[in-house]
Structure 1
Amino acid sequence: MQHQVFVYGTLLRGEVNHELLAGAQFLGPHRTAPCFSLVLLGAYPGAVRTGATALVGEVFRLDTGGLRQLDRLEEYPRLYTRRRLPTPYGSAWVYLYRGHRGDRARLPGGDWRALVADPQSCRAAGVRHTRDPKNRPRRQSTWCNDSSA
């Protein structure tokens, strides 16, 4: 089965976790409707479905195995949830941050690449490095292959 996913942070082309999309087909860029906030979660961003910011990102097509890899990275459904998002390429999954956001810095503009490309903006937003700490080796448990995950 094929899935589409909209990415807006460290999974973008050229970013630290993009290798997880190595087998995916790049469909194109996309800017969402302005109904999100982008919050800083250390070395990576999290989108929340409140606010007036359009997210800047990319849409990819991948298989179920690829989507499961992204679910593990995003700690779905504990840290992030997935929701459907309309794109010019059809409906795509987007990962939305589930944690407490009251004390998180909001990133203006909705464009993660613009932030990390400018060291001054990066420091001002509190980004100390762009190496995603979620991208660490994980032990495979026997129940991870459950098709209901």
Structure 2
Amino acid sequence: MEKVFVYGTLRAGQSNHRLLRQALLLGRCQLPCGYLLYDFGGYPGAVRQPAGSALVGEVYEVDSVTFAALDVLEEYPAVYTREQIETDFGLAWIYLYVRSVAGLPVIAHGDWCQR
């Protein structure tokens, strides 16, 4: 089992949440400052940015099949990379965008669901 921090379309009530139907929600979580969340229209992408804001999301425990499905959705490693981060629920994976974000709008408050 792996823990995953999700901040966009995988969150409860969002378009890709169905991929987490077999996952266990551990809870809502806010990462400390250090991220910028970009709006791509239908989905977001987060990047590490020392001067950035907090990032709001949820932490799930997923099995290997679900984790592999998330890698496919996130086009890992070509579009998103993943890193382990500390959350309120222990270490969890986060998908971070690796391509250019030049000219894209920023969701300054860091919460995709409140855009």
Normalised TM-score (structure 1): 0.75
Q: Let me know the Cα RMSD of the aligned residues.
A: 0.7
Aligned-partner SS, 1:32:
strand
Show structure 1 runs of 4+ deviating over 4 A. none
1:1-149 aligned at under 5 Å gives the runs 2-50=1-49, 51-115=51-115
Aligned equivalents of 2:19, 2:47: Cα separation in 1: 22
Greater relative contact order (Cα 8 A, min sep 6): structure 1 or 2?
2
The runs of 5 or more residues in structure 2 that have no matched partner are none
> CA–CA distance in 1 between the matches of 2:88 and 2:108?
24
How many residues are aligned here? 114
Give the Å deviation of 1:88.
1.4
State the secondary structure of the residue aligned to 1:57.
strand
Q: Counting helix residues as a fraction of each chain, which structure ranks higher? A: 1
Rounded to whole Å, the distance in 2 between the matches of 1:97 and 1:79 is 6
Q: CA deviation at 1:103?
A: 1.6
Higher strand share: 2
